[in-house]
Structure 1
Amino acid sequence: MQSEENPLKDFFDTWKFKILVGIAVFLVGIMAYAGANGRLTAAPQELLSVAAAPFQKVAAVVSGGVASLWEKYTSIDDVMAENETLKAENAELRQQMVDYDRVKAENQAYKALESIQSQRPEMSYLSSFVIGRDPLDSFYGFTLDRGTLDGVAVNDAVVSDQGYLLGMVVEAEPTSCKVMTILHPNFNAAGVVSRTRDNGIVTGSSEYAADGLCVLTNLARNTLTEKSDQVITTGLGGVFPADLLVGVVQELVPEVSGKSTIAVIKPGTDPRTVRHAFIITSF
């Protein structure tokens, strides 16, 4: 018959019991050391401090990380706020620069027009800038930034800074207007060669528009007009003021029927590239 095993004896042989004995010996040793140095009453507190030290270090690291993260977060907010402020300031400065450029361009244009205004004080000139062009328009019409609210009306003449005829207003909106140039075949203005006083019609031509040229039609077959003669308006019909500069004769060609002559004109200002113009609102 086999003897029953003693559970208590088995426990004494386990590694758990040996660990407990080791801890007990360690604690007794600390107590003895504390008693010998008069620190027996503080021994439990010191034991707790030793045990808690690792956790305190972890807590300190975590706390420091949270503080650093919060500092970075608030710093990002400050940077974003400063960035928005700078954006607003930059936008304001850009607008001021745009306004300055516009005023500067207008002043330069008015200086160029001073001599013309002194000769024709009865005319009212309205400064305007080209704000659009139709890429499909073969005759280079454009849109100006002035409209009916500024006193613009259909059929108003449009001239360059130097006073050369560019075209006429064909559509007028409250804040803008469309201009048909002298290159367009539908444009018609009574014109005259200033030297010979040969009269004709200033108009556009699909044959010459791409080169920035217009024509003076209905000249006599035996006209005395020559190359480089100046062409101006007559004022006939009341749509355009008299004596507006148009351009110079570049060549003379016979009309298809042979009954008259056409003077090909190079405008004093190229309507294809103009950026600023004056609208004559009254004369």
Structure 2
Amino acid sequence: MSFFRRKRLFTILIGIIILVGLIGFSIRDRQSLTAPEQFAKDAISWMQQIIHTPVEYVSSIITNLDDMKNVYKENQRLKEELSQYQQTLYEIQELRKENEELSSIIDKTDSDKLDAYHPIQASVTARSPEQWFQQVTINKGLQDGVEKNMAVITGKGMIGKIQSSSQFSSTVLLLNGFDRSNRISVKVNLPNQEEDASGFILGYDKEREALLLEFTDYDREIKEGTFVFSSGLGGVFPKGLEIGEIKEVTMDQYGLSQVAYVETSADLSNVHHVIVVDRMMDTSTQGVTGEEEE
């Protein structure tokens, strides 16, 4: 047993000496590698290339996917910011329009034409959905002094009259809902003429989208582009309140009198703030003929 132990120990020592020699041989400075070293190095390099190529390809794909994901997120963020910008721009435009409308309402309230009347400012809260039933609802009623048949105007001109009132709201019948039962006494200012033309608004022509004006006892030429104003007869509408502009002048169906089609000065489809005109009017302004708006 002792002989075999010595032999095994001797073998281990010889192996250690050879290993140390190989290590020393491999780490010394040499001009060239041995054939086994070259083979081993080339084999390792080839294996590294085989492994590195698919790994790099997969890595590039993952990187591209991450970039596409980031671009998508950035695109979504930019779309949201653009949508918010457009919404803000729309709100600014609406506020600007509302500011202009309110300014015109204030100017109209301070107008000398309304000195004999008590203006009641109101806002539109609802509009009739039916196109043929032209009404809007305002937020002022009997508690605020609003009564039936009071005139309703905006800063640009007349839009209609109060059709009915409750305690805290009222319904306005717009001019494009007028018929012959809602006629308005008007005058047309004619420059270089001794007297103005007079007549009645008899309703709204839906085909022409204009008010129908019939003149009374006036056969002179009336030009297009002339403005029509309320005459003040009857005490419903203030004198000199702008209604619209004449777009066409012709004869009636019987050829007996002139009629005109009048485009309203106020935009009846875009009404937000109005003035209800309380008719605290001196009776001396009523016409001697006793004709009244109905």
TM-score category of the 2 structures, normalised to the smaller one: 0.5 to 0.7
Letter in 2 for 1:269: A
1:200–1:217 contact (8 Å) kept in structure 2? yes
Q: Per-residue displacement from partner, 1:203-244 (whole Å, max 9, x unpaired)?
A: 323xx2365421211345733211000100111111211111
Q: 1:212-231 counterparts in 2 under 5 A? A: 212-220=209-217, 222-231=219-228
SS for the counterpart of 1:269 is coil
* 1:233 corresponds to which of 230, 234, 238: 230
Aligned mates of 1:223, 1:146 — CA distance in 2: 43
SS for the counterpart of 1:204 is strand
**Aligned-residue offset at 1:178:** 1.0
Aligned mates of 1:132, 1:210 — CA distance in 2: 25
- Alignment partner, residue 189 of structure 2: 194
Q: Does 1:165 align with 2:158?
A: yes
Aligned mates of 1:113, 1:131 — CA distance in 2: 17
* 2:167 corresponds to which of 167, 170, 174: 174
Give the superposed CA RMSD.
Answer: 2.4
Aligned length: 178
Aligned mates of 1:141, 1:229 — CA distance in 2: 28
1:231–1:246 contact (8 Å) kept in structure 2? yes
Aligned mates of 1:173, 1:114 — CA distance in 2: 25
* 1:148 corresponds to which of 133, 142, 149: 142
1:134–1:140 contact (8 Å) kept in structure 2? yes
Gaps of 5+ in 1: 1-100
2:105–2:273 contact (8 Å) kept in structure 1? no
**Aligned-residue offset at 1:266:** 0.6
Aligned mates of 1:272, 1:187 — CA distance in 2: 20
- Alignment partner, residue 111 of structure 1: 103
Aligned mates of 2:125, 2:263 — CA distance in 1: 24
Structure 1 segments, 4+ long, off by >4 Å, are none
Letter in 1 for 2:235: G
Aligned mates of 1:142, 1:211 — CA distance in 2: 22
TM-score, scaled to structure 1: 0.57
Gaps of 5+ in 2: 1-93, 281-294
SS for the counterpart of 1:236 is coil
- Alignment partner, residue 132 of structure 1: 126
Aligned mates of 1:212, 1:277 — CA distance in 2: 22
SS for the counterpart of 1:248 is strand
- Alignment partner, residue 247 of structure 1: 244
Aligned mates of 1:266, 1:209 — CA distance in 2: 12
SS for the counterpart of 1:242 is coil
Identity in percent: 22
1:223–1:261 contact (8 Å) kept in structure 2? no
